[in-house]
Amino acid sequence: MLIFFKERLAFLSVPKTGTTAYETALRGRADMVISEPPMLKHAPVYRYNRFVRPMFLKVCDVELELMAVMREPVSWLGSWWRYRQRDFMKGKPNATHGISFDDFVLAYMKGNKPGFADVGAQSKFLEAQPNGTGITHLFKYEDQPKLQDFLTNRLGVTFDLARENVSPAVPQDLSADVEMRFKRKFDAEFALYNSIS
């Protein structure tokens, strides 16, 4: 998570949306960088609302706008599947070695997900809270120019992005049947993604 106090902006780090590269590029410009532990770095709206928002509201009498990035849902799951195939994951319960992408997506669709497929949901991460706290600026991961233009204009900086935290390059084949079932069951994810202008 990156906080830009003067600009009244908090950049939430949705996992697997390239935010680590933005954190590296903009950390010198940010007033606060939360990069560890992961449950704070990747604090969703509800956790931001409970712990970070009150700090700025009560101490500084300031409400920050929230920005975040969302990835196309199949691509997002594919990134998780590939990420958990890194060499050091071998033998760990969350590893996806030897698990096809079809099987990963099928496991993700279960009510009681196995550990390797328990990766949360972008819509839950971005969910607005009853008090109105929610994402003000939502960008598609696949539209990097729009995201970078927003940050350049809002922060008054230019920056270069390096590729970081990259998942292994593994062919990501999803059968038409599994994709159709996934889209039907998680239609809210796709509706949210498709609502981003």
Query: Tens digits of per-residue pLDDT, 82-120?
Result: 999 999 999 999 999 999 999 999 999 999 999 999 999
C-beta of residue 161 within 8 angstroms of C-beta of residue 25: yes
% of the chain surpassing 90 pLDDT: 92
Residue 169: per-residue pLDDT: 83
Q: How far is CA 189 from CA 73, 76, 156, 192, in A?
A: 7, 11, 32, 5
Which positions of the chain have pLDDT values less than 50? none
4-17: per-residue pLDDT in tens? Answer: 999 999 999 999 99
Looking from the CA of 163 toward its CB, the CA atoms found within 13 Å total: 3
Domains of the chain and any CATH numbers: 2-189+191-195 (3.40.50.300)
C-beta of residue 2 within 8 angstroms of C-beta of residue 23: yes
